[in-house]
Amino acid sequence: MTERPPLRFILARTLARVLIFLLYRMRIVDRKHCPRAGAALIVANHISYADPLLIAAASPRVVHFLMSRTYYNIPVARWFFKAMGAIPVSGRDSPKVVLRSLEACRKVLEEGKVLCIFAEGTVSRHGQMNSFKKGFEKVVQGLDVPIVPVHLDRLWGSLFSFEGGTVLFKLPGRVPYPVTVNFGKALPSGASAHQVRQAISELGSESFRLRLAEKDTLAVEFIRRAARHPFRMALADSRERSLSYGSAYAAASCLARTLEPRLGTRQRVAVMLPASVEGALTVLALSLSGRIPVMLGFSLTRASAAERAGLAGADRVITSRRLVKRLGWEPEGAVFLEDIERPGKLVLLSGWLSLLSEDPSDLAVRPPEGVDADAVVLFTSGSTGKAKGVVLSHANILADVEAVAQVYATLPKDRVLGVLTLHHALGFTGTLWLPLLTGLGAVFHCDPTDAAKVARLAERYRATILAATPAMLAMYLRRVPERSFKTLRLVVAGADKLSEALASAWLGKFGVLPLEGYGAAELSPVAAVNIPDVMGSRGRQKGGKVGTIGRPLPGVSLKTVSPETWEPTPQGVPGLLLVKGPNVMKGYLPGTEAGGEWLRDGWYVTGDIALIDEDGFVTITDRVTRFARIGGELVPHRALETALQDVSGSPQPAFLVSSVPDPEQGERLVVLYKDGRDVAELQRKLADSGFPKPWIPPAERFHQVEELPIALSGKVDLASLKAMVMAFERRGAPP
């Protein structure tokens, strides 16, 4: 029998729908998953105060809500909430009153009606999904009621969200504001909070893809930003060149035209340039002309560079004579920037006039595939084997940029200190396209090891954001004076584990706590991040957790599975980490594919072992290949590395662990360390800390080295590590 809503509800919902129609442009996805009859529990993420109105308007049924008593008791609105059948509850209620509210919720379901609970218990203050409370599990306990996951997307930045730190007191990006309400397939009533949160996260990945339908190519999106803020600083570097957005567009468009006769019809063009204004303009010029930059590192040999360019089908390499002189070799098919005629003032003025008067979509070559077209070819570090060619689309990079900008709340005055090379995935997306697409300034230096110049650059341009590897952060901690980084408000570490000692030392010296993130070139590259905590009306909302890689970005879903069965692992149990989202690459270049399966049912297979805790934070325990099997038990190398780092108190990476065959136990652990350590003291501290004694190697398995095989990018050269360990073993270390 169809539920007949009371008249007061019809009036209240009509008012809600009028308000929604005026303020929002709502897209409803898969409303069919909401049962047309019978009881159902809707569980949704909570991103704004408008969420209940949106769900009420999108649902085909009358929906009753569990809501905050604080807002329920607002005199002007109480009649409305009461008419909508809302059930009030508060964290300040006595256990007896809370139980009464939960019983009222249960009664709604027992009567065959629809109930909605926002399991986070509060509106997100930081744009990410918070941990889920388990109250809804008690509400449905013993009832055969489907749980319908619902994801609300694009509400961050709307009038009733906390974007910018306030509600109401801001102008939304547009009116009506586009939002998506995505209904997922029903889960059984016994589903846990972890499982429901996972389902909503996966819906978020689907919803985020819908945003990209309104996007254009990277070049067009940059032009739109430049036309909006032509006089804002866009690019600068240590060679004292600084360009506004208008000047950057004019210079890049001139460079694109000048390169035309040299490049002809070639689609893929290699770029071998340091992080600099020239490097950024070259990438922009290629994008404006509809070409695909193939980013090459300049630490390669001539043969390696030629091989990578050949695999990508690029027979031209844009570079500079200054760099070639430093390298001591010239790449095949080199096109030198110094040989290209500089545009005159009238030519640049013409570019400015085009920017200010023409449609942005007419100022760039747009591929037929739109945002799904190839945008760049990057190469992995090759730390786990042969380097792989990663093909990213415009949509991949656009999605990653939008998600990162959302959770880190970038401001127009922010300036990104670009010390990562442009062929590094985080350098390409995070220090080049992120600022250019969000209206920030990017300040480059070509050599991240030149701490003195990096410090001067940060001071001069008052840099506020830094993305670097832990190895770089350790170096800057030693060499950069406190005053040089005083304007930094956000420091993100990636590519390797950030030790708690290093993070604490940075906070003590520079007053900013580095936050660890996680990603890979294949993920465009960011997948998960820690963000600053935010104070809310009910206390602090956690954005970060020490020792973790944070939570997934909006639009990105993470899960862990058994490497043997591919079945999901329970909450808190380590498993193989999989990633789904619009940031997952198009694929590998032919001839560079990884061995084994890299994509399974739409999920990218990372090769990392991780666990996801009850708050949604992810901890990487190790690589699949970085385990020792000792007496039938799998021992992660990273567990011993982390424990050694902690007990030593060193803020800089000082230990690496590998394993070698052992005739009795299967394998045994071997430790490489630097900077002179008291091995006996380390062993004692490990034991005192509670580290499993069978996993503590004997003293003869500790070997001192001058340098660990860790690149400045933060990647461990696993092949070199294994070779060094085997060399020590062959010298006669007792078995």
Q: Is the residue at 617 inside a domain?
A: no
Predicted structure pTM score: 0.84
Q: Is the residue at 338 inside a domain?
A: yes
pLDDT of residue 734: 43
The dihedral over CA atoms of 249, 251, 252, 258, expressed in degrees to the nearest 10, equals: 140
How would DSSP label each residue in 362-376? GSS---TTGGGSEEE
Domain co-membership, 205 together with 225: no
Q: Is the residue at 735 inside a domain?
A: no
Name the burial class of residue 599, with classes exposed (0-12), middle (13-18) and buried (19+) by CB atoms within 10 angstroms of its CB.
Answer: middle
Among 183, 213, 243, where does a domain finish? Answer: 213
Domain co-membership, 497 together with 640: no
User: Could you give the C-alpha distances from 228 to 175, 222, 236, 262, in angstroms and in order?
Assistant: 18, 10, 19, 32
Among 195, 213, 231, where does a domain finish? Answer: 213
Q: What is the mean pLDDT of residues 372-390?
A: 82
Q: What is the mean pLDDT of residues 558-577?
A: 90
Q: Is the residue at 620 inside a domain?
A: no
Per the structure, the complete domain to which residue 75 belongs is given by 7-213
Q: Which residue has the higher pLDDT, 163 or 287?
A: 287
Give the type of residue at 464.
T
Specify the 3-state DSSP secondary structure of 653.
coil
Count other C-beta atoms under 10 Å from residue 172's C-beta.
15
Domain co-membership, 575 together with 676: no
pLDDT of residue 1: 47
Domain co-membership, 339 together with 201: no
Domain co-membership, 657 together with 724: yes
pLDDT grade for 714, boundaries at 50, 70 and 90: low
| 114 bridge partner residues | 40, 63
Taking alpha carbons only, the member of 386, 383, 376, 375 closest to residue 304 is: 386
Q: Is the residue at 618 inside a domain?
A: no
Domain co-membership, 102 together with 193: yes
Maximum average pLDDT range among 13-17, 239-243, 524-528: 524-528
Domain co-membership, 145 together with 50: yes
Report the domain count for the chain. Answer: 3
Domain co-membership, 270 together with 256: yes
- Taking a C-beta distance cutoff of 8 angstroms, is the pair 642, 654 a contact? no
Q: Give kind and range of the element (H or E) at residue 561.
A: strand 557-561
Q: Is the pLDDT of residue 735 over 50?
A: no
Domain co-membership, 508 together with 487: yes
Q: Is the pLDDT of residue 727 over 90?
A: no
- What's the CATH number where 222 sits? 3.40.50.12780
The CA distance from 98 to 330, in Å, is 73
Q: Is the pLDDT of residue 329 over 60?
A: yes
Least confident of 20-24, 349-353, 600-604: 20-24
Q: Is the residue at 590 inside a domain?
A: no
| 244 bridge partner residues | 233
pLDDT grade for 160, boundaries at 50, 70 and 90: confident
Q: Is the residue at 412 inside a domain?
A: yes
Helices (H), 171-296: 193-211, 218-228, 245-263, 277-288
Domain co-membership, 106 together with 201: yes
- Taking a C-beta distance cutoff of 8 angstroms, is the pair 366, 274 a contact? no
Q: Is the pLDDT of residue 84 over 80?
A: no
How would DSSP label each residue in 563-626? TTT-PBPPTT--EEEEEESTTS-SEEPTT-PPSS-SEETTEEEEEEEEEE-TTS-EEEEEETTS
Q: Is the pLDDT of residue 633 over 80?
A: no
Q: Is the pLDDT of residue 638 over 90?
A: no
- What's the CATH number where 654 sits? 3.30.300.30
Q: Is the residue at 207 inside a domain?
A: yes
pLDDT grade for 423, boundaries at 50, 70 and 90: very high
User: Could you give the C-alpha distances from 356 to 216, 224, 254, in angstroms and in order?
Assistant: 19, 10, 16
- What's the CATH number where 202 sits? 3.40.1130.10
Among 172, 190, 213, where does a domain finish? Answer: 213
The most distant pair of C-alpha atoms in the chain lies apart, rounded to whole Å, by 88
Angle between helical axes of 679-688 and 637-648 (0-180°, round to 10): 100
Domain co-membership, 116 together with 42: yes
Domain co-membership, 687 together with 565: no
